[in-house]
Amino acid sequence: MVTNSSCYQAGAIGLPIQTASSWTATGCSLGFFCPNNTAEALPEYCPPLPDCQVARLSGLTCEPQGILEPVICTAGYYCPKGAKSMIKCPAGHYCPQGSYTPSVCGRGARCSEGSVQNLDFLPLVILIIVDLLLVSVVVIIGCGSRLKKWRPRQQKRSNRKTYTLPGRVRGSNYQEIEAFRVQGEEEADIAMEAAFAPPQRKRTGFEEIMEPEFDAEQELGDTGKLSSDLQLFVQSMSKCIGGERFGLNFEYRDLKFQPDKNKKPVLSQVSGCINSGSLWGVMGASGAGKSTFVNVLMGKTPHTGGETKVNGVAGNMSRFKKIIGYVPQDDIVLPELTVRENILHSARIRLPYTWTETEIQNHVDILIRCLCLDHVQNSLVGSTAAPVISGGQRKRVSIGIELAASPSAIFLDEPTSGLDATSAASIMTTLKALSRLGITVVTIIHQPRQEIFDSLDSLVLLGAGRMIYQGPQVHMQPYFEQLGFSFPNHGNPADAMGDIIAGEGRLYKPHGDASVQGLIENWHDFSSSRDQGGSSSNISMVEMASLNATIKSRGARWYLQIYFCFIRSIIQQFRLQESFWFEMGTGAMAGGLIGLSEESQKGENFRGIFNEPYSLLSSAIDYTSVPEMALLVGLAIGLTAAPSGVKIFGEEKLVYWREAAAGHNRFAYYMGKVISTIPRMVFANLHFTTVFFLLTTPRISWFAAFAANLLYFYCIYGLASCISMVCRRDDGPLLAVIASLIVGVLNGMSPTLERTSTWHVLWLWRATPGTWLAEAYFTENLQPLEYLYNIDGAVTHLGYHLGKYSLDMWVLLALGTVYRVIAFGGLRFMYRHKQR
């Protein structure tokens, strides 16, 4: 029997409203208990007293306003169906407000009786274990590499020690003394003699070649006379080339390059040929067209007129890019890798796919010895700002990266600029030796010193994009003298020549025409009347077929290239540990700060209108705490991941361009990078989510939050890689952070998605990962409360979809992938644009 007296008994003003329809045989609705109700005394809502009204408007619950009013089960208690009173939450469980059954706490949680939230420490324990493992791995690898370096040093030191032993054995290392003891005096003597034979320093191939008595032609014909390193290198090369003939012969006739926008050609009427077996120098004043000439010859820049032939065969030059090496002026090497690692990566990617790892390692060993880099092979290359090896050694590494691919021709852009005299001479010695191996070596050179100039065999002199001279270096001076120029008796002829071709010829020819234009015309007349510095030696069809087969066989399979790029990137990240640990620290700190701001809510981050018929009992609604939490998560991940994403993708554009031009698989490079960021994202996310979760204790499960956050990390890394493609290196981190803040803020909290749809810009919000992250959080935090609150009201108000967690995850994955595709497309576009 319903009685109105219940309200008056409580002193409330107004008439009671029957909520009888909610009454079932089992009692009142889930999450409530109705202490005084029976089938005869049905639940009633009594208008609240002012104090209670204030409390409800503040989002708090208040005392029941009548004895028949249903009571929401308070936090720390649960109210099973039909219960007449609340039951305290048992130990090992937690009971937020409105619980009808206690929820089991996590395995790592310590939930005492009456707990309101699941404070699970298990993820924190896992995080600590993971960190300890990571630190151990770092320490073990660090010790391992130190030991690797320390052992040979120790070996050397112990070799130097002198021990006095019976008999005539003197001076040994510990092992040898042991050998002496074990094997007996006579046997040990033999061992000692071998051990103490004065160390024969191997002369490198290049030293051997540059000996005055060295007869290159003869020695190349008879490899038996070459030094052992060089012999091995020749063998290795010939295995790669598929024969003894390494070099490419370039022939060009009336070569022209005129960009679309230029009124005048950059290069015109350039004819001649460059044969293998000698060291060529391309010289000319600044802007004379040297780089353009070399780029056209290599096939990097397509010529707009004339004809080029390689080994007598005309066609697209770029098909030879796998067997042509190009050493840029700036040493584009990876500073975090060692000398050996830089060269080895190139060898693994560019040598024939049929080569085994042992063969590749042997090839690299020989090459490193030939380049005199064996003593620094395990040293980091370092950057120009913080060098570890010398400038000359860096240049050798840069050359080694190209030689590792056993190229048939190698082009170098000012390989001696910025080097001291000794290093420059040494580089030229190296190049000369390479040319003697039969490799075609062409180098752009600026104002060479006398000894460098003397080491050149042949010259190509350009002026205003036209040919001024091409032929043997020793014939250059007589040629100009015959034109009326007089060279100083004791100066460097290269200096005088440099002045003449730069338009300062008047200094050396006071009378008559000394202009560049005159020189061009003279050469034109001269070359028309004679053979232009030798003719290109054509090769037979069989040799050409073999060359084509060689080109086809070059390069590791694409999936192996992905693997090699992945490994290289992991090594780089390992060497840049500070940045890794900084990201982990930032993740944990951001998780902690957000967690602290949400901690006071004790996991109660949604309050809606109670399901009918108890809607009148509802306190103030809170629809925005969940999207607000997602917003903070998005911003925190943006701050953590964006700078790292830029650093990983943006600092190596030059390396990418160099490798792409050398025929590396561009997709493999990018994929290797992308995959290598996954462990980093997982660890950073583990730090962020664990700390954030521990303080916030939201209703979303730890795994669901981890997955959503991880995919958001994936999106931010992708976005950062896009940013790094379009902006300057220095601006990258800041712009990436700004972009990640924007996509984080556009998450549908304010303005709501509902509102944006009325503005017809919902698509913009739906195109940002922030919205999908917020929707995932919304779904996972609200769905468990569907029995208690009218969730549809929140859905209608905000515009998120409910129950679409999987879809949200897929969309986040897709968005992150789209960002990467855009970044990769941008990288390719910029590469093409750069080539033009």
In the complex, the residues that contact ligand ATP under the rule CB under 6 A are 259, 262, 266, 284, 286-292, 836
The residue among 233 and 326 lying less far from ligand ATP, judged by its C-beta, is 326
The residue among 414 and 583 lying less far from ligand ATP, judged by its C-beta, is 414
Three-point CA angle 156, 159, 161, nearest 5°: 120
The residue among 97 and 443 lying less far from ligand ATP, judged by its C-beta, is 443
Distance of closest approach, residue 464 Cβ to ligand ATP, in angstroms: 9
Cα(455)–Cα(585) distance, integer angstroms: 55
Distance of closest approach, residue 291 Cβ to ligand ATP, in angstroms: 3
Distance of closest approach, residue 835 Cβ to ligand ATP, in angstroms: 9
The residue among 102 and 498 lying less far from ligand ATP, judged by its C-beta, is 498
Distance of closest approach, residue 216 Cβ to ligand ATP, in angstroms: 29
Rounded alpha-carbon distances, angstroms, from residue 715 to 598, 635, 747, 769, 810: 24, 13, 14, 7, 12
The residue among 290 and 303 lying less far from ligand ATP, judged by its C-beta, is 290
Strand partners, 265: none
DSSP letters spanning 691-727: HHHHHH--SS-HHHHHHHHHHHHHHHHHHHHHHHHHS
The residue among 444 and 782 lying less far from ligand ATP, judged by its C-beta, is 444
Distance of closest approach, residue 505 Cβ to ligand ATP, in angstroms: 18
The residue among 413 and 583 lying less far from ligand ATP, judged by its C-beta, is 413
Chain mean position to CA 510: 58
Asked if residue 234 lies in contact with residue 437, where contact means CB atoms within 8 angstroms, the answer is yes
Chain length of the chain: 836
Distance of closest approach, residue 403 Cβ to ligand ATP, in angstroms: 23
Distance of closest approach, residue 258 Cβ to ligand ATP, in angstroms: 9
Residue that the structure tokens 């409105």 belong to:
98
DSSP letters spanning 489-528: SSS-HHHHHHHIIIIIGGGT-SSS--SHHHHHHHHHHHHH
Distance of closest approach, residue 257 Cβ to ligand ATP, in angstroms: 7
Q: Is 318 exposed, middle or buried (0-12, 13-18, 19+ CB in 10 A)?
A: middle
Strand partners, 410: 325, 441
The closest alpha carbon to 439, from 327, 329, 342, 340, belongs to 327
Distance of closest approach, residue 807 Cβ to ligand ATP, in angstroms: 48
Asked if residue 74 lies in contact with residue 99, where contact means CB atoms within 8 angstroms, the answer is no
Instruction: Dig out the tokens for 125 from the structure.
Output: 């324990």
Cα(814)–Cα(406) distance, integer angstroms: 41
The residue among 85 and 286 lying less far from ligand ATP, judged by its C-beta, is 286
The residue among 294 and 381 lying less far from ligand ATP, judged by its C-beta, is 294
The residue among 169 and 460 lying less far from ligand ATP, judged by its C-beta, is 460
Distance of closest approach, residue 270 Cβ to ligand ATP, in angstroms: 12
Distance of closest approach, residue 293 Cβ to ligand ATP, in angstroms: 7
Distance of closest approach, residue 261 Cβ to ligand ATP, in angstroms: 7
The closest alpha carbon to 761, from 799, 794, 791, belongs to 799
Cα(19)–Cα(613) distance, integer angstroms: 6
Q: Please give the DSSP secondary-structure letter assigned to residue 799.
A: -
Residue that the structure tokens 């070059």 belong to:
554
Cα(87)–Cα(95) distance, integer angstroms: 10
Residue that the structure tokens 């204790």 belong to:
697
Q: Sign of the C-alpha dihedral, residues 537, 541, 546, 548?
A: positive
Rounded alpha-carbon distances, angstroms, from residue 224 to 204, 218, 219, 220, 566: 15, 11, 8, 9, 41
Strand-pair category, 305-310 with 250-257: antiparallel
Q: Please give the DSSP secondary-structure letter assigned to residue 198.
A: P
Cα(266)–Cα(339) distance, integer angstroms: 37
The residue among 289 and 613 lying less far from ligand ATP, judged by its C-beta, is 289
The residue among 262 and 384 lying less far from ligand ATP, judged by its C-beta, is 262
Q: Please give the DSSP secondary-structure letter assigned to residue 256.
A: E
The residue among 290 and 680 lying less far from ligand ATP, judged by its C-beta, is 290
Q: Please give the DSSP secondary-structure letter assigned to residue 244.
A: S
Asked if residue 491 lies in contact with residue 507, where contact means CB atoms within 8 angstroms, the answer is no
Cα(498)–Cα(452) distance, integer angstroms: 14
The residue among 103 and 271 lying less far from ligand ATP, judged by its C-beta, is 271
Cα(367)–Cα(19) distance, integer angstroms: 89
* DSSP run (H or E) holding 781: helix 769-782
The residue among 258 and 553 lying less far from ligand ATP, judged by its C-beta, is 258
Cα(54)–Cα(619) distance, integer angstroms: 9
Instruction: Dig out the tokens for 240 from the structure.
Output: 């790669």
The residue among 136 and 262 lying less far from ligand ATP, judged by its C-beta, is 262
Rounded alpha-carbon distances, angstroms, from residue 492 to 279, 283, 414, 447, 451: 19, 15, 19, 10, 9
Asked if residue 465 lies in contact with residue 266, where contact means CB atoms within 8 angstroms, the answer is yes
Instruction: Dig out the tokens for 797 from the structure.
Output: 């108000």
The residue among 290 and 322 lying less far from ligand ATP, judged by its C-beta, is 290
Strand-pair category, 440-444 with 279-284: parallel
Distance of closest approach, residue 453 Cβ to ligand ATP, in angstroms: 17
Distance of closest approach, residue 280 Cβ to ligand ATP, in angstroms: 15
Cα(314)–Cα(326) distance, integer angstroms: 21
The residue among 221 and 259 lying less far from ligand ATP, judged by its C-beta, is 259
Asked if residue 277 lies in contact with residue 247, where contact means CB atoms within 8 angstroms, the answer is yes
